[in-house]
Amino acid sequence: MNTEIDTLCESWSVTTFRPKVWSCSEKSVLASEVPLAVVMQGPLKKEDAFTEETLRLYRATFPGAQLILSTWENEDSAALRRIEELGVTVIKNSLPKNPGPYHVNYQIKSTVAGLEEAKRLGVSFAMKTRTDNRYCASNAGDYLYGLWKSFPVQDGVSRKGRLLILDLVTRLYVPHHAADIMMFGHIDDMHSYWSLPPSNAQKPLNGMRVLGDLREDYVPEVYLCENYLKLCNQPCDRTLENWWRVLADFYLVVDRSTLGFFWPKHSYGTEHSQTTNDEVRNLALCSMRDWFNIALFDKQCPMEFEDIADQPLHELLS
């Protein structure tokens, strides 16, 4: 008898419908209070005109924001023209010679190009997103800016403020595994975070099997985070004690549900579902609730990373 499966069969399942095509009913009613650029980077997602329709949505839900698409010179020219007609600034980058592990160098190059255009346009804040996911909430720009303003950093000399990131793939128990899917912050801090050398790390041929594999240089999230820490003259000890300090001092974790996050990736209907004990497994995500406990109440991690480094992925914590 499989108790876990039986429990799931007795659970409620909640479904959210996301429209494929933007409609006039999806918009921000309130005027924006922040000079913002939304920098979308990556290759066009052409199925259902996903990238194009996302930018149509953002034109309505990020009122007054500069919309920037930083993509590749080999993308469909007709689709790019339609996007430009929406008032979106399109940047066509040449492809990096070395993609890096998990194509991190593609992400770095297209993000930096978009942020540099945002700086040229004179905005103070930027939200970095991807072409293959979408944020459906209205007035998200002011919400993120409000959070940024409400939790100032202590050392304002080296940086202007925190970097806001998603709970999705921000790992509680993997040192320096900060999500790179979405990021919001002051334009100077954002540019500093993404202006780093291309990665030459080698991805292992056998893939990731145990938790310790996720804290290595070839993991994009770790590579990006640790380069920023070095730039800020911070220690990069790959311990959970240091990681929770970094979470508390440098980031602010935002739950993706508050932004209406949607990522039509693979079997998205089941991939993003969660069970009741995900929070006590070694790949647990850092929720905004977790971040509050760590940052505001100085909670300490109850274990050392070396105690769990050899565990298979998704293992229950003891």
Structural domain of 107: 32-307
User: What's the rounded Cα separation, in Å, for the pair 209 and 288?
Assistant: 28
Task: Please give the single-letter amino acid code of residue 134.
Answer: R
Segment among 126-140, 154-168, 175-189 with least mean pLDDT: 154-168
Average pLDDT score over the chain: 91
Tokens of 239: 């311990």
Q: Do the domain assignments include residue 230?
A: yes
Confidence band of 10 (pLDDT split at 50, 70, 90): confident
132 vs 24: which has the higher pLDDT:
132
Q: Do the domain assignments include residue 315?
A: no
Q: Is the pTM of this model over 0.85?
A: yes
Q: Do the domain assignments include residue 25?
A: no
In sequence order, what DSSP letters do the residues of 262-275 get, joined into one string?
Answer: E---SSHHHHT---
Render pLDDT for 51-100 as a digit per residue (tens, 0 to 9): 999 999 999 999 999 999 999 999 999 999 999 999 999 999 999 999 99
Give the C-alpha distances (Å, rounded to integers) separating 141 from 60, 66, 316. Answer: 12, 11, 37
Q: Do the domain assignments include residue 3?
A: no
Q: Do the domain assignments include residue 17?
A: no
Confidence band of 109 (pLDDT split at 50, 70, 90): very high
pLDDT at 318: 80
User: What's the rounded Cα separation, in Å, for the pair 299 and 296?
Assistant: 8
Q: Do the domain assignments include residue 224?
A: yes
Q: Under a CB-based contact definition with an 8 Å cutoff, are residues 182 and 263 in contact? A: no
Q: Do the domain assignments include residue 248?
A: yes
If one counts the domains in the chain, the total is 1
Confidence band of 238 (pLDDT split at 50, 70, 90): very high
CATH number for the domain that contains residue 257: 3.90.550
Q: Do the domain assignments include residue 303?
A: yes
Q: Is the pLDDT of residue 270 over 60?
A: no
Segment among 24-38, 87-101, 294-308 with least mean pLDDT: 24-38
Confidence band of 292 (pLDDT split at 50, 70, 90): very high
